Structure 1
Amino acid sequence: MSLYPLFADLRQRAVLVVGGGAVAARKIDGLLRAGAAVTVVAPALEPTLAALAAHARIRHVAARYADEWLDEVSPGGEKSNGGDEPSGYWLVIVATSDGALNRRIAAAAQRRRVFVNVVDDGTLSSFHVPAVVDRAPLQVAISSGGAAPMLARLLRERLETMLDDALGPLAALAARFRARIRARHPEPAARRRFYSSLFGGAVADLLRKHQPALAEAAFEAAVQAPAAPIAGSVALVGAGPGDPGLLTLKALRALNEADVILHDRLVGPGVLALARRDATMIEVGKTGGAHSTAQERIHALLLEHARAGRRVVRLKGGDPFVFGRGGEELEFLRAHGIGYEVVPGITAALACAAYAGVPLTHRAHAQSVRFVTAHCRDSLDMLDWRALAQERQTLAVYMGVAGLETLRERLLAHGRAAATPFALVENGSTETQRVIAGTLNQLPELANAHRVRTPALLILGEVAALARTLHWYGTPPLGGAPGPSLRHAA
């Protein structure tokens, strides 16, 4: 179930809780901390709730539930006519052990367009109460959509250890100074940089040391300090082969600091979803035979946004320095005086081989690896085929789907054995990964039979036979008869 995350302001707003036991008490505790006006309908209350009722912290109706309670305009006020109008209650929480009653309350609430949560029954609930990491006023809410509450609680426990207690006072300080910060830094990019330097600097450190007066003074000084001129910059970031989990921590930080992201067509939605929500996304992919962005246009966009003082991320599939034109883009940036940095990514050869269970080197069978691009006739004509056809090495061929027949012919012509194993990895490291395995003499026919499409990486060499026995991700390899098995190295 896909839920829309929402933080509700319940201050002085009426909430109805049905049930007076320990489960209800846990829910009511959170409601009271949020400032809600809680009415509890139950024949009796457990001791904690009874004490709250005695001190007028909650309103207790000592009765069994009836649908009429949902028709109140306000607690103790007049009722609406017939229950067809919205209830005076903003939320209803059902905490009883009676399944039939729970279903009845849920149906009645939903008819009245009131959000209802039936504890531990996601199918009856129109809203879910998340597990919360509380660093007030900062809160982190975690929900599994009702599918696995214990998993949400486990994640909450982990986050509790990661988020220190200084975050709450830091957020409170930021709230107090917010208007002054916006006036001092009217441009969003400059404001984001100010907050980034502030939250990671002396103010946070002083709060961790429980020195709030000094922290506030440091905050005040930072707000009053003259604004430094904004210099744009470019980060050349490798997005890896597809699995968002393969992003480096530095790449993730760059995505969260970016004002503008220029990304390749093959950078998947899972990676892009990790970027700042308000970053400007510009696709600048290149596609053979279809719409593509010229490299000169990419250069112009990098220059335009960097000169405007923005943090630009040039996000490339794999690694920017492996067949990614990263060197050309850095040369351009340097020539125009734009600051830059490079964040390496896991290149396709490493990731596709790993996710296919193929070691690129093996001490008994492959002492070297060659990275080769074969996306067009010109690139094929420039290759040293005699060297590529040598044994005891692994070839990792990028962008070679369209040239597989030529590749086979030239390797065979220069002495590579027809029985040399290959593994062709399509959409490597993603949920749609496929591995086609066979031998060099079968290569183009098997690729055509299985309709292999880009992006796909070819691994050719004796080690590729291990794709059949060492696969661990996705479905087993497809293809013809297995090639010769490898001896295990001593």
Structure 2
Amino acid sequence: MESLPVFLSLKGRPVILLGEGAAAAAKARLLDRAGARIIRDEMADAAIAIVAIEDDAAATAAAGRLKARGILVNAMDRPALCDFTLPAIVDRSPVIIAIATGGASASLAKALRQWLEAMLPASLGGLAEALKTARAKVKARFADAGERRAFLDGLLMRGGPLDPLARHADADETIKTALGGGVEAGGLEHVALTSTDPDELTLRAARLLAGADRVYHLPDVPPAILDRARADAERIAASAPPSDVPPGRSVFIGWSGA
């Protein structure tokens, strides 16, 4: 991962925008949607700046002056000058999906955005709001963080009651009904690999890795497989499945036939 994806809260905050023309106008519209206070003065106080100047020499000089003041810069179509990039965005507020290619291809990011726009239902934002509203009740029902995660993962899994890719007429009622029932136990699940290629993981294996709190694995399991687990999941090299695991969801990764 060459850069760390972050979401900045810009509401009411100043952002320097330099340049004229269609490209600069597009950046201004994006900043306006985020609630930023657009400043056209290069010498203004701000934490970030966008340089949408077409002339190469002028853009490079402006980016250099801004960087010298400790301001993070995005220089349009000039990846080498960028401290941060502006991704393609899928907006299902409060769900925001950002797609970046590290400056390699804006067209690829756009194509992926269009694909996701067609795939994700308009109700996704409402689902997020329902989950937010239910947060206190879920916490009261499941004091253990691992159990809470298991409960929510069960609701949101593919084909589950709140599958994010399906349309939901009343997500609030679905959560209320689920809270009145039980919760899938955590425990230890097993994933048997047949290949070192992460793209050959089964859907079940990919789902288990994505939802695991900790991943036990044989020492020779490649990093590309382990990277399919949650970024904050604990990774533990082990020669065999553990006999006892903490609360929450655990996965042991081994090899098929071993």
Normalising to structure 2: TM-score of the pair? Answer: 0.88
Matched, 1:146 2:103: yes
Structure 1 230/158 Cα, relative in aligned 2: closer, same or farther at 3 Å?
closer
Equivalences, count: 255
Query: Secondary structure, in 3 states, of the residue corresponding to 1:304?
Result: coil
Written as runs of structure 1 = structure 2, the 5 A alignment for 1:274-353 is 274-285=228-239, 298=240, 301=242, 303-305=243-245, 308-317=246-255, 319=256, 322=257, 324=258
**Which structure carries more relative contact order (alpha carbon 8 Å, separation 6+)?**
2
Structure-2 residue corresponding to 1:331:
none
Structure-2 residue corresponding to 1:249:
203
Distance 2:244 2:77 in 1: 53
Structure-2 residue corresponding to 1:16:
16
Which of the two has higher C-alpha Rg? 1
AA in 2 matched with 1:252:
A
Structure 1 128/315 Cα, relative in aligned 2: closer, same or farther at 3 Å?
same
Shift of 1:167: 1.7
Contact 2:147 2:186 in 1 (8 A): no
Q: 2:212 aligns with which of 243, 254, 258?
A: 258
Shift of 1:152: 1.9
Contact 2:63 2:75 in 1 (8 A): yes
Superposed CA RMSD = 2.3
Matched, 1:38 2:38: yes
Q: Which of structure 1's runs of 4+ aligned residues deviate more than 6 A?
A: none
Structure 1 240/203 Cα, relative in aligned 2: closer, same or farther at 3 Å?
closer
Q: Percent of counterpart pairs with the same letter? A: 35
Distance 2:235 2:57 in 1: 50
Distance 1:3 1:95 in 2: 21
Written as runs of structure 1 = structure 2, the 5 A alignment for 1:24-423 is 24-39=24-39, 41=40, 69-72=41-44, 88-200=45-157, 201-202=160-161, 208=167, 211=169, 214-223=170-179, 225=180, 228=182, 231-285=185-239, 298=240, 301=242, 303-305=243-245, 308-317=246-255, 319=256, 322=257, 324=258
Normalising to structure 1: TM-score of the pair? Answer: 0.48
Distance 1:220 1:29 in 2: 39
Distance 1:96 1:71 in 2: 16
Query: Secondary structure, in 3 states, of the residue corresponding to 1:120?
Result: coil
Query: Secondary structure, in 3 states, of the residue corresponding to 1:277?
Result: coil
Structure 1 236/218 Cα, relative in aligned 2: closer, same or farther at 3 Å?
closer
AA in 2 matched with 1:236:
H
Distance 1:217 1:249 in 2: 28
Query: Secondary structure, in 3 states, of the residue corresponding to 1:11?
Result: coil
Deviations 1:126-178 (A, max 9, x none): 11101112221111211111122222222222222332222211112222332
Distance 1:259 1:10 in 2: 32
Shift of 1:277: 2.1
Contact 1:70 1:109 in 2 (8 A): yes
